[in-house]
Structure 1
Amino acid sequence: MNELIRQLAQAEASAHGRGGVRAEFGPLVAAYHGPDLALNSAWHDGHATPTEADLSAFEAFSAQHAAPITLHVLSPFVNAALPLLTARGYVLSYTLHAYTRDLRDLPSTPALEVTAETDPATWAALSGQGFGPGSEPIMRVVAGLPGTQRFTAHVDGQHAGTAALNVQGNVAALFGTSTRPQWRGRGVQTALLAARLHAARGQGAALASVFATPGSDSERNIRRAGFQLSALRLTFTRPG
């Protein structure tokens, strides 16, 4: 299982700096995308324990860009890093569930129409309507990142929800899923999950991953699509 999680950590770290200012500090891959964006953070790639020098360099990078010090670590690698993180004042901010599934025996193709969205601005605007007020700026960044594949689901001819996919090697990351409020409960997320799984397999991926807020409706949809809980994504911050 740890090898699978290491593969996931490496894929997420490799994708982390797409389109932004990227820097590597040992096993940490840091990225800056612009003021006040949650994408400004570092990912642990799963291949070594960060040293004090690695963390100092990452903290300096964050300070250079006036960004909060935020670090994502998958749970199998936390114990080794925790003493140093604690000593340097990092605290656990929040946790997401990390799900994976192989790309055999996929769910049937979606009953709803799902299409590729070629215009990043259109996708970001629709996505912002699903995620809620204040979310469109970050979704514009997500929409324009190199390698982001954008999808839109339709109900009764209307744009109902959006989602994204990025394939790194044989790992497909599913993210950016939202449903416009008036179309919730109509199978939009289920359709977007199935469409992206089929697209990922068609591009040669063998493993799909997705992160979910514990106990959310999205998590229940992910489980129904055949994903298994594989790890936690722990986000640490160092207060200024």
Structure 2
Amino acid sequence: AAGGTASGPNAAPTNSTAPPAPPRIELTVQQLRLANDDARITASGSWHTGQGAQRWPGVLALQGTLRDGRATAVARYLPLALDAGTRHWVQRAVQAGSVPQLDFLVRGDLARFPFPEPQDGAFRLQAQLQGVTLNAVPDPADGHWPAYTDLAGELVIERQALQLRQLHGRVDGLNLALDGVKGDIRHLGHAALLEISGTARGPASELLRHVQLSPVGGWLDHALARTTASGAAELDL
């Protein structure tokens, strides 16, 4: 605060006082427990207003675990600050399965979420997947790709990246087993690119059908339409 008087024969005394700083608002939660049809959640953390002009949306430190979750509900629990296209893709691409456990951590000034640089804060989701059906290309306009079924493995979202780790499962409608499947979206945002690698194993005739039924058949001008194959084979995805 500052005070003073004006000088001069007709000057009136004046006082000036700086407005008080707004109070800090803080909320702490310990062992929060929530349960619904989607999952059981336990969490602990704290939130408080930021400093100066960065008072809102505040600073959050939250960690917890989701158990016995439905894979089709995961998109509902993704932060709204995450790119809308990414949340929409997860909602459409994940079509069945369960999440036995998902651990999450958010720490930092929410104005900088999802914290692209380590000094900004931390954001991480790590989920165990079981019996999941994943249609990696859910939009028919992008071509019909067979879905992956009965997938088990790990999903990690960290900062602005998504990873699928060591998945195994099957190709929908085909007698093909998947092993060592990995998927990466290096930057979650508009026009994000999903890169998938792994191995498909099974009868050569089924691998050939996979090529014929996917857009690859069209890219090859259906040159393999009348091709036959026998024996066992494997295909790198």
TM-score, normalized by length of structure 1?
A: 0.25
Q: Tell me which protein shows more helix as a share of its residues.
A: 1
TM-score, normalized by length of structure 2?
A: 0.25
Greater Rg, structure 1 or structure 2?
2
Highest RCO, 1 vs 2 (Cα 8 Å, sep ≥ 6): 1
Q: Tell me which protein shows more strand as a share of its residues.
A: 2
